[in-house]
Amino acid sequence: MRFPVSKRGAGFFVLLLLASIALFFSWGQIKPLFTDNTSEESSEESAPPVQEPKVLKLSLQARKNLELVSKPARIGSYWRKIQIPGELVDRPGKSDRGVTSPAVGVVSKVYAFPGDTVRPGDKLFSLTLFSEYLQSTQKELFRSIKETQIAQEQLKRLQPLAESGAVSGSKVIDLENEVRRQQALIQAHRQDLLTRGLKPEHIERIANGNFVSSIDIVAPAREETEEHLATIQTTSFQSGSNGGEAFTFEVQELNAELGQQVQAGQLLATLANHSALYIEGHAFKREAPYLENAAQHGWEVAVEFAEDYPERWPELEQKFEIRYLSNLMDSDSRTFDFFIPLLNQARSYEKEGQTFVVWRFRPGQRVRLHVPVEEMKDVIVLPSAAVVKEGPETYIFQQNGDLFNRVPVHVLHEDRLNTVIANDGNITPGLFYAQNSAASLNRVLKAQAASGMRADVHVHADGTVHAAH
């Protein structure tokens, strides 16, 4: 018996069962094809656009942690400057002084050693003389003095006889000429001995027949024509009181030893006085027009001294101006030098009966020079730490209590210390703006925006920020 209809029905049932199973397992993938997305698209289109955060809120404790400082904005002028490296150097022929031997001799005593301070006229060395020339000059001086005395005695005896006619007048004339000749020799010998290091009291001894066999070499006198050398104000480290006026030399180098034979003109010691130095700047040729202009107009140069402690010293009351520009180029660095006078400061202290000097500025100390180039007027100047950059945008922060509004600005010029901002109406003079920590404020602003925390504030038309009413 045949059942064709039943077999077709069974096959259809199997196919329907397989299709149901496949649809069950693939429903998650084909469901979006049968779902209406109109509501979702409309909700996305109706969502408000994300606004860039502009205002942040900081507590008093947070401002203290950032050491935040705010000051009112002021409109003024600013000198655009270029930065040039430099160093402190001695003034040639002024700061250092060499002490030489006036004659051939042997160093019999040394009174001052490196580091000691000496005043003009203080003993440095005792020298036993071995100079035949010096001994001969003393002998000639003594002989001339004695011959002058003899000639004067004869002249005194013969003058009355010449007046009475008992003696020829020519004899008196010859004696007068001899006296003048000997007096000229005496003056020449005296001057020669003075230039050899002998003092007037030594010459008086020689005139009496007591020849000088040793001399003391002393520190040279201060040159009164050195107008740039200010009087050193020595101050005690212990008391801090003014020690009065005293011009001193420091023994920088000892070039002769005890018992050493020295020749005339040989260097015995090098003395230094660093009260007047030069600030030596090293500039490239392209900067020469700026430096020449500053030197001609007498514009003041700002100087930053490396490793200086101004709180331990009196305030510098001097104006730094370029004195002259060198006309020589260094072949290695391709730079030329320019020079600015500097008056130094010093303190002294006593130890073991000796006085020692400590200078504030020392040769070789590095400096950074800020040379004025151009005056920028009608601008707002803020510290560089008050400005933060994000790509082409530059911002500062205006403060009103706990609230800080980020304000975009136009930067005209910036250097390591300051930023010059255009007075284009975006900044209101008189309002308070943060003077530092701008980068930290910007990070806090972004963190508050990312966390979804609202400052709950609004900005008025005049730029002030207030909490929501």
CA distance 143 to 150: 11
pLDDT at 238: 34
Which pLDDT tens digit goes with each residue over 368-419?
A: 999 999 899 999 999 999 999 988 899 999 998 889 999 999 999 988 889 9
Q: Is residue 170 domain-shared with residue 318, that is, in the same domain? A: no
Specify the higher pLDDT residue, 109 or 466: 109
Extract the tokens encoding 396.
């500062």
102: pLDDT strictly greater than 80: yes
Q: Is residue 30 domain-shared with residue 18, that is, in the same domain? A: yes
Asked, for residue 107, whether it belongs to a domain, the answer is: yes
Are the beta carbons of 137 and 189 closer than 8 angstroms? yes
Question: pLDDT averaged over the chain?
Answer: 82
Asked, for residue 235, whether it belongs to a domain, the answer is: no
Which pLDDT tens digit goes with each residue over 16-73?
A: 776 777 666 666 566 555 555 555 554 455 444 445 667 888 888 988 998 999 999 9
Asked, for residue 208, whether it belongs to a domain, the answer is: yes
Q: Is residue 348 domain-shared with residue 415, that is, in the same domain? A: no
CA distance 466 to 469: 8
Which pLDDT tens digit goes with each residue over 174-201?
A: 888 888 898 899 889 888 888 877 888 8
pLDDT at 26: 65
Long-range pairs of 16-23 with CB within 8 A, sequence gap ≥ 24: none
pLDDT at 425: 87
250: pLDDT strictly greater than 80: yes
pLDDT at 175: 82
90: pLDDT strictly greater than 80: yes
Q: Is residue 223 domain-shared with residue 282, that is, in the same domain? A: no
Proportion of the chain above pLDDT 90, given as a percent: 37
356: pLDDT strictly greater than 80: yes
Span of 237-241, 285-289, 296-300, 350-354 with lowest mean pLDDT: 237-241
pLDDT at 279: 96
Q: Is residue 116 domain-shared with residue 259, that is, in the same domain? A: yes
245: pLDDT strictly greater than 50: no
CATH for 61? 2.40.420.20
pLDDT at 20: 72
Mean pLDDT of 99-112: 90
Which pLDDT tens digit goes with each residue over 409-451?
A: 999 998 888 999 999 888 889 999 999 999 999 988 888 877 7
Which distant-in-sequence residues (6+ apart) come within 8 Å of 258 by Cβ?
107, 108, 109, 110
Domain boundary among 313, 342, 374: 374
Which burial class, exposed, middle or buried, applies to 433 when counting CB atoms under 10 A from its CB (0-12, 13-18, 19+)?
A: buried
Q: Is residue 259 domain-shared with residue 150, that is, in the same domain? A: yes
- Side-chain half-sphere of 178: how many Cα atoms within 13 Å? 18
Asked, for residue 112, whether it belongs to a domain, the answer is: yes
CA distance 367 to 352: 35
Specify the higher pLDDT residue, 34 or 89: 89
Q: Is residue 419 domain-shared with residue 396, that is, in the same domain? A: yes
pLDDT at 233: 40
Q: Is residue 33 domain-shared with residue 65, that is, in the same domain? A: no
Q: Is residue 399 domain-shared with residue 453, that is, in the same domain? A: yes
Domain boundary among 351, 374, 397: 374
Asked, for residue 453, whether it belongs to a domain, the answer is: yes
Extract the tokens encoding 416.
């390591």
Q: Is residue 137 domain-shared with residue 184, that is, in the same domain? A: yes
Q: Is residue 283 domain-shared with residue 155, that is, in the same domain? A: no
Q: Is residue 34 domain-shared with residue 70, that is, in the same domain? A: no
CATH for 296? 2.40.30.170
What domain range is 23 assigned to? 4-45
pLDDT at 215: 86
pLDDT at 14: 67
459: pLDDT strictly greater than 60: no
Number of domains in the chain: 4
Asked, for residue 236, whether it belongs to a domain, the answer is: no
Asked, for residue 240, whether it belongs to a domain, the answer is: no
Asked, for residue 385, whether it belongs to a domain, the answer is: yes
